[in-house]
């Protein structure tokens, strides 16, 4: 065991022995010159050290649990940690919007060629900004995903956004907003927001505690369909939470079908219609309310395979 003269020395050593390939990829390939906006001067300043960035992200997300453990404030640790991960997610989302704007401008410049020196300088600057923002977003997303993995380790539940889409860089399962998924699918985009693969859908009530039959069925699906995607109805508790935790542990992409509140009482049934329209290879329906009955009927009418998990069976087994 090497000796350390300071905490900084220990952190540097820890970063060196724990850095993952995802961080090495996100922080390792630096462009020669970076510029994050037209108002900034180009810089050759390096990216942060990948090992220390990983250590820092994990420490930030884990600190609330260590600080508040066995205290009267312990119940708030999860909320604080969620906010830390969410702050990284929000920054990554902001950078992505800036990157989209830069890419749009770069495309317009490329289509409207001008032999002048002013045009050439603007083209080079816009390309540099676009590349720099892409690099910055990848680094922040790697930190976000590692912090999210720490959150899952501490809570037993995957970190999820309250709105919008999150595409993971490899450490955790992706939570993909259903609207973004459907829009991308309609446009036949083959990117991370329109993942390709057989779709398994699951639906059930928020009041559901027995995870064993759900995990057993999902394990069977994954064994039969290794490249499966999982669609849930995006509830924070019960069946969907169990399924999301399973997906995170098995690196399965999740498509979260949230309710469209503008539809009022029709929202859940419209969501059922959209789920069936995607023609999943299997629908796992845990006995619940009329919403689950409606989904099962729609699926059977469409000729889709349906697997029912009933509460009576669990109560009998107990």
- Average pLDDT for residues 109-115, to the nearest whole number? 77
What is the structure's pLDDT at 190? 43
What is the structure's pLDDT at 264? 82
Mean pLDDT, the chain, rounded, equals 82
Q: Could you report the per-residue pLDDT of 42-85, keeping only the tens digit for each?
A: 999 999 988 888 889 999 999 999 999 999 999 999 999 999 99
What is the structure's pLDDT at 186? 52
% pLDDT > 90, the chain: 31
What is the structure's pLDDT at 24? 76
If you average pLDDT over each of 60-64, 116-120, 272-276, which comes out highest?
A: 60-64
What is the structure's pLDDT at 318? 35
What is the structure's pLDDT at 120? 85
Q: Could you report the per-residue pLDDT of 191-228, keeping only the tens digit for each?
A: 444 556 788 999 988 888 888 999 999 999 999 888 88
Question: What does the DSSP assignment read for the chain?
Answer: ----SSHHHHHHHHHHHH--HHHHHHHH---SSB-SSTTSPPB-PPPPPHHHHHHHHHHHHHHHHHHHTTSTTGGGHHHHHHHHHHHHHHHHHHHHHHHHHHHHHHHHHHHS---SHHHHHHHHHHHHHHHHHHHHHHHHHHHHHHHHHHHHHHHSS----SSS-B---SSS--EEEHHHHHHHHHTT--STTS--S-EEEEE--S-----HHHHHHHHHHHHH-TT-EEEE---SSHHHHHHHHHHHHTT--EEE----GGGGGGHHHHHHHHHHHT--SEEEEES-SHHHHHHHHHHHHTT--EEEE-HHHHHHH-
pTM for this entry: 0.61
Q: Look at residue 314 and tell me whether its pLDDT is greater than 60.
A: no
Q: Look at residue 28 and tell me whether its pLDDT is greater than 90.
A: no
What is the structure's pLDDT at 71? 96
Q: Could you report the per-residue pLDDT of 297-309, keeping only the tens digit for each?
A: 999 988 989 999 9
Residue ranges and CATH numbers for the domains of the chain are 7-155 (no CATH), 175-317 (3.40.50.450)
């Amino acid at each position: 065991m090497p000796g350390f003269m300071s905490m900084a020395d220990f952190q540097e050593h820890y970063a060196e022995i724990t850095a993952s390939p995802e961080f090495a990829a996100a922080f390792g390939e630096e462009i020669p010159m970076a510029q994050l906006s037209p108002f900034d001067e180009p810089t050759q300043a390096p990216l942060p050290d990948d090992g220390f960035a990983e250590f820092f992200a994990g420490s930030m997300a884990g600190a609330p649990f260590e600080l508040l453990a066995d205290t009267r404030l312990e119940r708030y640790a999860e909320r604080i940690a969620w906010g830390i991960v969410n702050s990284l997610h929000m920054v990554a989302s902001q950078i992505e919007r800036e990157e989209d704007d830069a890419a749009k401008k770069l495309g317009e410049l490329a289509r409207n060629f001008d032999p002048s020196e002013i045009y050439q300088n603007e083209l080079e600057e816009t390309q540099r900004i676009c590349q720099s923002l892409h690099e910055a977003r990848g680094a922040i997303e790697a930190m976000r995903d590692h912090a999210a993995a720490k959150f899952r380790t501490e809570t037993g539940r995957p970190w999820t956004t309250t709105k919008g889409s999150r595409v993971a860089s490899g450490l955790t399962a992706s939570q993909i907003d259903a609207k973004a998924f459907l829009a991308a699918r309609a446009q036949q985009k083959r990117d991370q927001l329109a993942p390709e693969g057989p779709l398994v859908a699951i639906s059930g009530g928020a009041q559901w505690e027995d995870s064993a039959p759900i995990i057993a069925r999902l394990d069977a699906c994954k064994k039969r369909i290794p490249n499966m995607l999982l669609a849930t109805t995006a509830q924070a508790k019960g069946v969907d939470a169990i399924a999301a935790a399973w997906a995170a542990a098995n690196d399965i992409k999740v498509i979260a079908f949230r309710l469209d509140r503008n539809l009022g009482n029709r929202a859940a049934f419209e969501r059922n219609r959209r789920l069936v329209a995607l023609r999943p290879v299997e629908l796992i329906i845990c006995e619940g309310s009329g919403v689950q009955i409606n989904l099962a009927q729609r699926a059977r009418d469409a000729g889709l395979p349906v697997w029912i998990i009933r509460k009576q069976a669990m109560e009998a087994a107990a």
